[in-house]
Amino acid sequence: MKRIVIKVGSAVLREGSALALQRLNNLVDLISKLKNEKKYEVILVSSGAVAAGNITLNLDKTNILNRQVLSSIGQPLLMKHYKKRFSQYNIKCAQMLLVAEDFDSRKRSKNVQEVMEILLKNNIIPIINENDVIANEELLFGDNDQLAAHCAYFFKADMLVILSDIDALYDENPNINTNANILKNVNFIKEEDLQMKHSANSEFATGGIVTKLKAAHFLMQKNIPMYLSSGFNLENVYDYLLEDKHNSGTLFQKQG
């Protein structure tokens, strides 16, 4: 059985002034199917704590302390919804809040790895987020794309799947050029592309295409493929993971 990390972004989980519960449920349905068909062991990395917290309390999100407060309110809300939907499939889930330091020190990463193995062995879906409340600058990944890439590597996954408001990598910015084409296979990322300024499309997301390229770049060096696809419409990811059909979305993979 293959092990995959699936990462979902804040923009997918928030719609206007509410949580996008239908999309969250669709994601849980996908994971349950992957699991029940015994094809994959799944680790979920979910953003959306700040976005969920902001539904309860309207604080200025540009302030880091406020973001930490909002994530402490939103994280249990997110978990409540995941737990509810997973329970319809009789699947249990668990929360793991991590910071960059957990992957820095060998002792800490070994500990987290051991916890992960026990969870997976017991058929529990681990749901990971950055521990925003305690993540100060030194401890911070800053975006869950790179956190998810580290999870894929440290938890020995066969692949990272990013489900985002960006449905693929394009040859030009699709927001500016409507004729931009999807790049279905990418096996090299230019250094200058990694240096571009972050530009998240959603007000709740920290990432954007650059953090996805950084995640893909990190994983290419470790020989772990990454598939980027839409989190709004899951048709392509279903086809890719369950039917082996790469209709759309971008597969980042080192050549050879």
CB of 205 to ligand GLU, least distance (A): 4
Q: Which of 42, 48, 167, 217 lies at the binding interface for ligand GLU (CB under 6 A)? A: 48
Query: Which residues ranging from 120 to 149 are in contact with ligand GLU (CB under 6 A)?
Result: 129-130, 132, 143-144
Q: Which of 4, 30, 49, 168 lies at the binding interface for ligand GLU (CB under 6 A)? A: 49
CB of 231 to ligand GLU, least distance (A): 12
* Sequence-ordered alpha helix ranges (H) in 57-143: 64-87, 101-104, 106-121
Phi-psi group of 24: left, alpha or beta (phi > 0 → left; psi -120 to 50 → alpha; rest → beta)? alpha
| Contacting range for ligand GLU; rule: CB under 6 A; set: 91-99, 157-165, 200-208, 222-230 | 200-208
71 near ligand GLU, judged by CB under 6 A: yes
* Tokens (6 digits) for 70: 């909002």
Residue 110 to residue 102: CA distance in whole angstroms: 9
CB 71 within 8 A of CB 99: no
Q: What is the CB-side half-sphere exposure of residue 163 using CA atoms within 13 A? A: 29
167 near ligand GLU, judged by CB under 6 A: no
Residue 227 to residue 160: CA distance in whole angstroms: 6
Q: Which of 4, 5, 10, 116 lies at the binding interface for ligand GLU (CB under 6 A)? A: 10
Nearer to ligand GLU, 41 or 132 (CB): 132
Q: Which of 205, 209, 215, 237 lies at the binding interface for ligand GLU (CB under 6 A)? A: 205
102 near ligand GLU, judged by CB under 6 A: no
Residue 21 to residue 55: CA distance in whole angstroms: 13
47 near ligand GLU, judged by CB under 6 A: yes
CB of 48 to ligand GLU, least distance (A): 5
Give SS3 for 168.
Answer: coil
Q: Which DSSP helix (H) or strand (E) runs through 31? A: helix 21-36
Residue 4 to residue 80: CA distance in whole angstroms: 23
CB 232 within 8 A of CB 27: no
| Contacting range for ligand GLU; rule: CB under 6 A; set: 41-49, 98-106, 223-231, 248-256 | 41-49
Residue 35 to residue 1: CA distance in whole angstroms: 10
CB of 173 to ligand GLU, least distance (A): 20
Bridge pairing between strands 125-130 and 93-98: parallel
Nearer to ligand GLU, 26 or 129 (CB): 129
6 near ligand GLU, judged by CB under 6 A: no
CB of 138 to ligand GLU, least distance (A): 16
Number of H helices, E strands in the chain: 10, 12
Query: Which residues ranging from 221 to 250 are in contact with ligand GLU (CB under 6 A)?
Result: none
Contact positions vs ligand GLU (CB under 6 A): 10, 47-51, 71, 129-130, 132, 143-144, 205-207
